[in-house]
Amino acid sequence: MVIDLDKCTGCGACSVACMSENNIGVLHNETDKIRSITWLRVYQIDNGKAFPDTEVAFIPRPCMHCQGGKSGTPGQAFFQEAPMDEAAHPPCVSVCPATATDYDEKTGIVSQIPTRCIGCRYCVAACPYHARYFNWYDVPWPKGTPRALSPFVSPRMRGVVEKCTFCYQRYQSARNKALVDGSEVGEMDYQTACTEACPSGAITFGQLQNPKHKVHKLISSEHTFRLLEKLQTNPKVYYMSKREWVRKMADNYVTRHNKFAQAAAQGGHQQ
């Protein structure tokens, strides 16, 4: 996925579409943002300057579907679709004691199995992007609304963790259709709900390694970046911005005048 932050207006349509597509409930108190569930959260950032130099940007943040493991460029088998090249190691997957989350080597999607989750929240602690959400409450579905839920996504129960799945149910349905047609899953056959809902076309979705897909071309732009690249989580969500201050906001940089620390930082910045 590639998100052009210069096109994002922060309207939140992606979040709403995500909630609707994935049967995310609305709690009694949605102002408690550190306990409510928003698979795709939109952050607002600014350049820290006073008016009239103030600039604002919005960062939609789905699950990054980290691969972890080896760093490198897309051309260097960064996202291996041929399994067994190198074991994927997302921060959240290996920690789960009950194998309730997994890394799909074929699609690169980090899955979540709510019915197997024991609710230990170790994966929530492991994720630096805060992309994982725990169900602190029972969802108070208003009378009649369950009939309007999507039949392709199971609503989650209290006490389990959930997260963005890149609308995996859409991939399953596209795969089934391709199987019946005897074709392959095309770029437009599988698009996430947030991609479709974005009114300014800021979100592009596809296979990063497929040269025919638009995202493959986009990630070679000099303006693309990912969040917290230094931690070597290898996210599959790329961002684009021509504004340098926005790109700088994506990671941490040693600013203290410390020769030793700066030298180490340069050595540690692999990507």
Min separation Cβ 35 and another protein, Å: 5
How far, CA to CA in Å, does 103 sit from each of 57, 100, 111, 128, 223?
A: 31, 10, 6, 17, 28
Binding mask 35-64 toward another protein (x if CB under 8 A, else -) reads: x-------x-x-------------x-----
Q: Which of 1, 5, 6 is nearest to 39 (CA)?
A: 1
Residue 128 touches another protein, criterion: CB under 8 A: yes
- To 10 degrees, the CA torsion angle through 5, 8, 9, 13? -140
For another protein, the binding residue among 7, 121, 177, 213 (CB under 8 A) is 121
Residue 233 touches another protein, criterion: CB under 8 A: yes
How far, CA to CA in Å, does 147 sit from each of 20, 250, 262?
A: 13, 41, 58
Please identify, using beta-carbon distances, which residue of 154 and 173 lies nearer to another protein.
154
| Interior/surface letters 254-268, b for 16+ CB within 10 angstroms, e for the rest | eeeeeeeeeeeeeee
Min separation Cβ 265 and another protein, Å: 4
Query: Cβ(72)–Cβ(106) under 8 Å?
Result: no
Residue 120 touches another protein, criterion: CB under 8 A: yes
Residue 182 touches another protein, criterion: CB under 8 A: no
Q: Where along the sequence are the contacts to another protein (CB under 8 A)? A: 34-35, 43, 45, 59, 66, 68, 91, 94-100, 116-122, 124-130, 132-138, 157-161, 227-228, 230-233, 249-256, 258, 260-262, 264-265, 267-269
